[in-house]
Structures are given as C-alpha cells and as structure tokens.
Amino acid sequence: MIGAFIVARIGSTRLPGKNMMILLGKPMIELMVERVKSSRMIDKVVIAISTDPTDGPLENLAKELDIGIYRGSLENVMERVSKAAEVYNCDTIIELLGDNPLVHCDLIDDVVRFYLDGKYDYAATVTNEYPVSKTDPGIKLFTLGVRVQVYSRKTAEKYVDYPEYFNIEDKGTTAYIFEHPETFKIGYFEAKAKWSFMNRCNLNFAINYYKNFNLIRTIFEKNYPEDKNFTLEKVYEQLDKDKYLYLLMGNE
C-alpha cells in the first residue's frame, strides 16, 4: 500500500502555527490535503505530527477530514514517519512537507511511477538542496517548496543505523539516505519534459515567513475558486504576470 505522509507541526520556530493558518476559510493544510487526495497513486493520506500537546489542533483536523493521523517523536522525524507507515501498513512512503501546500497530485503520481519503474530505494524531485546539484551541472533542478520524496518503509526503518543524523533539523528527514548513494539506490526526478517549466531552481514556494504565506494566499485566492485542484502551470503563469509576487518568496 502507498501512503502519503504529510509531516507537520504547530511549533515552527519561524512561523508558529503556519499549517493551521486560514486560507479561503480553511486551514492551509486542509487545502493541501485536498490536492494530495486527488492523486491516483495514493491509497492513504496521513498527517504525521508530534506528541507535543501543541499539535492537538492538527490531530483534530485530521479526524474532521477523515484521514489518518499519527503522533510520534518531535525531534526524530524519520522515526515518526517510519512508525506511521508501520501503523497504516504502507510499504511505500510518499513524504510531503506541510508547508508545501502547492504540491500537485500529477507531480506526486509521476514521481511515484518513476520510483516504481526504477526500483529505487529512494526517489525525489531534485532541487539545489541535494549534493548531486553540486556535482552534476547538467541536472534539471526543481523549484523549492513542492518537494515529493518517495521511499520504501524498509529504507525508512534503516534510520536506526545512522544515529548521527538523529534530530538534525537543518539536514532534513532523509539526509542519511541521499548522502549515502553507495548504500541506497537513489533516483532523482528532474524538471524536464512535461515538468521543464519548473526548472527554475531560484524560486521557492515553501512557507517559512509571513510574506511567504501571503504569496500562497494570493495564489490560492486567484486560482482556487475556479479550480480547487489548479495546476502548477497556472501558478507559474500567475507569477510571470504579477511579478511583484517574486518579492514574497524566500527568507526575510
């Protein structure tokens, strides 16, 4: 079974409560769930949160939306994700970040197919966050903030062999995988062919500051009323038309 695990928390240091900030009358993460559920490859959607009491609103929302919820370690996110996959009996994990609400079902499905066809241990939309971006100058990098990572539960459970990666927030959940290509079979899904319009690695849709939230709010307000599952092509069309939106990206 293939599960989409949305990693989220209320206690963000840079923008606390961002997952529950209201967009068009709904919590932001609810709009993300709507987009993810349109995937044809996903059997189960789960929000993976911590046992910290502050994450209670996310659990309540998951129950309202009738999707899966798992509460685990605050610091060790891979432990949380791998145990969530075990609870929901998912052999394949799609890890998504709760502050990436623009991620689209078509991109998810294409990365999953790429992962399955290549029989990889780990596959992901490749960005400048990966070491390969420094060693392969020809690789076609995606925009930040719409990352899709797919890996097996078996690969996830091997986190225990890499204790030096525990609780290192700036490295990300899966660094022990992609920093050890000699151990894991890794596939990088590039921004080419139908996804070539996303080969703009200087852009960033992640929500880390309030101005980033304003960017996402503007995009949803423009596109969601006409199409709840609006495409990423529509997003780039809006950016190129309303160029002031570029100023709302990235760090403060």
Please report, for the chain, the start and end positions of each structural domain, with discontinuous segments joined by +: 2-208
Q: Cα(121)–Cα(103) distance, rounded to whole angstroms? A: 22
Query: What is residue 172's predicted lDDT score, i.e. its pLDDT?
Result: 80
Vertex 69 angle, CA 86 and 84, to 5° = 20
How far does CA 140 lie from the centroid of its chain? 19
Count of alpha carbons within 13 angstroms of residue 146, beta-carbon side:
30
Compute the distance between CA of residue 77 and CA of residue 8 in angstroms, rounded to an integer: 10
What's the pLDDT at 168? 66
Distance CA 74, CA 131 (A): 26
Q: Strands 26-27 and 68-72: what pairing?
A: unpaired
Q: Is the pLDDT of residue 197 over 90?
A: yes
Averaged pLDDT, 183-199:
99
Residue 93 pairs with which residues in a beta bridge?
3, 151
Q: What percent of the chain has pLDDT over 70?
A: 97
pLDDT confidence tier of residue 213, bands split at 50, 70 and 90: very high
The residue ranges of DSSP E strands in 62-177, in sequence order, are 68-72, 92-97, 122-125, 149-152
pLDDT confidence of 111, banded at 50, 70, 90? very high
Question: What is the pLDDT confidence band of residue 2, given thresholds at 50, 70 and 90?
Answer: very high
| Beta carbons within 10 angstroms of residue 60's beta carbon | 12
CB 124, CB 146: distance < 8 Å? no
- Please report the pLDDT score of residue 250 as a whole number: 79
CATH of 2-208, one of 1.10.3720.10, 3.40.50.2300, 1.20.58.220, 3.90.550.10: 3.90.550.10
pLDDT given for residue 251 in this prediction? 66
pLDDT for the residue 163: 86
Nearest to 209 by CA among 57, 12, 51: 12
Say if residue 221's pLDDT is above 90. yes
13-46 pLDDT per residue, tens:
889 999 999 999 999 999 999 999 999 999 999 9
